[in-house]
Structure 1
Amino acid sequence: MTKLTGKTALITGGASGIGLAAAKRFVNEGAFVYISGRRKDVIEAAVAEIGASVRGLQADITNPEDLDRVFETIRTERETLDVLFANAGVGELAPLGEITSKHFDYAFDINVKGTVFTVQKALPLLTSGSSVILTGSTTGVMGTPAMSIYSASKAAVRNLVRSWAQDLRGTSIRVNVLSPGPTQTDKIDELLTPEIIESLGNGTALERMGNPAEVAAVAAFLASDDSSFMTGSEVFVDGGYAQI
């Protein structure tokens, strides 16, 4: 596997779940990978698990100074960036009637504002032909009980990509959305009951939950030159969940 040989990648939210699976896949494909996250201990554990060709950076994407430090580190150590996987995101349950300003700000500050400025601050480092991948969700195109704010934030991510594909005309920088469906991660286990998780899996056409490695495989495709004629697109990795 050498789709990403010689490339430098940054994965935000890269220490767990889909981000960690993507970091492992990118390294296996030949990339040098930076992973960022808010918790130092989790970042260090992820780096130790991946082993080689990886560097962990503690950073909160809602903090502009943290983002500046991340990109200055990459500029100093690697000069340029070929792949940006803006994967950091959060979700909480809150049905209409129980939504608070704190809940709203938490989701939109990380999922939308943090994503916007992660990409914008990366632009000076991105090379011609580089790939930007944003993590969306099936919830961005579906009605989901108790997840209207999270869903709205992911719908915003989808539209950012449509607009940025236009803004990036003439640069050869590609930007696409990777939208997972029900995927078995620690975050899902914390957020939902086993009964709901089982129901989600049964709701896919493949009648099971996805594995983070399956999403990572598609992230590697979008990061590589195999997707060189794709921009402004949304790619679902959802077992058919939002398609049927």
Structure 2
Amino acid sequence: MGQLEGKTAVVTGGGTGIGLATAVRFAAEGAYVFIIGRRKTELDGAVETIGADRAMAVAGDITEAADLDRLYDAVRARGMGLDVLFANAAAGAFVPLDQVTEEHFDQVFGVNVRGTLFTVQKALPLLNDGASVILNASTAADQGIEAFGTYAASKAAIRSFARTWSNELKGRGIRVNAVSPGGVETPGFADIFGGGEAAAAVGKNFAATVAKGRMGRPEEVAATVAFLASDQSSFIVGANIYVDGGENQI
């Protein structure tokens, strides 16, 4: 039996990258997984990868209340409540302070902060007592990377949510924790850094600065999220676990 046998889980941004790797890991540990993302083609491929008997995909955007309602209607229809929520979906781009527009700010905070808040809020009636909520933060929240201020600030808000919501939900035994990945080889990482050779160069430079000497793998973040989702982490509440190869530690 897996560590999540018989559990029901939701993963936002579950079509690719860390979200997909986590959904695969949850299913391997025995959970039934609902995933949501904006691109139906990616979601269809994700369900095929996970296994159609272990997953259901809902095409939608976490910034849209109606899409979140459709996601949780599907969870509700299964009739087993919700045991694990990984609020993973995020957006980011490099824009220096003097070039930040209202549109850029609204997009990043709309997905990362507003979207995460309502993803969790709308899940509350479905969350079973003792459930685990994991939020995807970032090492960027602790750094002063040039032109990445909007994204970093949004991820600092995520870290704060983990603390506050842990207090608010402790009466139901619901644990809220965060993970902070460093540089991880995902399509999202490549997109932020321009893709192709540009992204590869950034990845190479990053790898040279961390103790592990390489980029992280989505499966490594997924393993940490699965740990936080399971009873193995039953005494971990409000924490932020770095999955960064030592980037922010040494």
TM-score by length of 1: 0.97
The correspondence of residues 47-196 of structure 1 with structure 2, limited to 5 A, is: 47-51=47-51, 52-192=53-193, 193=198, 194-196=200-202
CA–CA separation in structure 1 for the residues paired with 2:6 and 2:16: 24
* Alpha-carbon distance, 1:190 to partner: 2.2
CA–CA separation in structure 2 for the residues paired with 1:145 and 1:20: 29
The correspondence of residues 5-24 of structure 1 with structure 2, limited to 5 A, is: 5-24=5-24
Local SS of the residue matching 2:225: helix
CA–CA separation in structure 2 for the residues paired with 1:146 and 1:198: 20
1:161-216, CA deviations, whole angstroms, 9 ceiling, x for partnerless residues?
Answer: 11111111211000000110010111112222222111111121111100000110
Given that residues 34 and 58 in structure 2 are in contact (C-alpha distance below 8 angstroms), is that contact kept between their aligned partners in structure 1? Answer: yes
CA–CA separation in structure 2 for the residues paired with 1:190 and 1:74: 31
* Alpha-carbon distance, 1:78 to partner: 3.3
Count matched residues. 244
CA–CA separation in structure 1 for the residues paired with 2:15 and 2:8: 17
The correspondence of residues 196-207 of structure 1 with structure 2, limited to 5 A, is: 196-207=202-213
Q: Which amino acid aligns with 1:208?
A: R
Given that residues 8 and 78 in structure 1 are in contact (C-alpha distance below 8 angstroms), is that contact kept between their aligned partners in structure 2? Answer: no
* Alpha-carbon distance, 1:145 to partner: 1.6
Q: Which amino acid aligns with 2:159?
A: R
CA–CA separation in structure 2 for the residues paired with 1:178 and 1:7: 21
CA–CA separation in structure 2 for the residues paired with 1:55 and 1:200: 35
CA–CA separation in structure 2 for the residues paired with 1:63 and 1:45: 23
Local SS of the residue matching 2:99: coil
Q: Which amino acid aligns with 1:35?
A: I
1:23-43, CA deviations, whole angstroms, 9 ceiling, x for partnerless residues?
Answer: 111111111001110111111
* Alpha-carbon distance, 1:98 to partner: 1.3
1:57-100, CA deviations, whole angstroms, 9 ceiling, x for partnerless residues?
Answer: 11111111111111111011133000000000011110121111
CA–CA separation in structure 2 for the residues paired with 1:72 and 1:24: 22
Q: Which residue of 2 aligns with 1:35?
A: 35
CA–CA separation in structure 2 for the residues paired with 1:20 and 1:98: 33
Given that residues 15 and 42 in structure 2 are in contact (C-alpha distance below 8 angstroms), is that contact kept between their aligned partners in structure 1? Answer: yes
Choose 47-56 or 149-158, whichever is displaced more.
47-56
Local SS of the residue matching 1:177: strand
Structure 2, unpaired ranges of 5+: none
Local SS of the residue matching 2:124: helix
Moved over 6 A (4+): none
Structure 1, unpaired ranges of 5+: none
Local SS of the residue matching 1:168: helix
Q: Which amino acid aligns with 1:24?
A: V
* Alpha-carbon distance, 1:243 to partner: 1.3
Given that residues 8 and 80 in structure 2 are in contact (C-alpha distance below 8 angstroms), is that contact kept between their aligned partners in structure 1? Answer: no
CA RMSD of aligned residues (A): 1.0
Choose 224-233 or 184-193, whichever is displaced more.
184-193
Local SS of the residue matching 2:74: helix
Q: Which amino acid aligns with 1:12?
A: T
Given that residues 130 and 175 in structure 2 are in contact (C-alpha distance below 8 angstroms), is that contact kept between their aligned partners in structure 1? Answer: yes
Given candidates 196, 216, 220, the residue that maps to 2:226 is 220
Local SS of the residue matching 1:220: helix
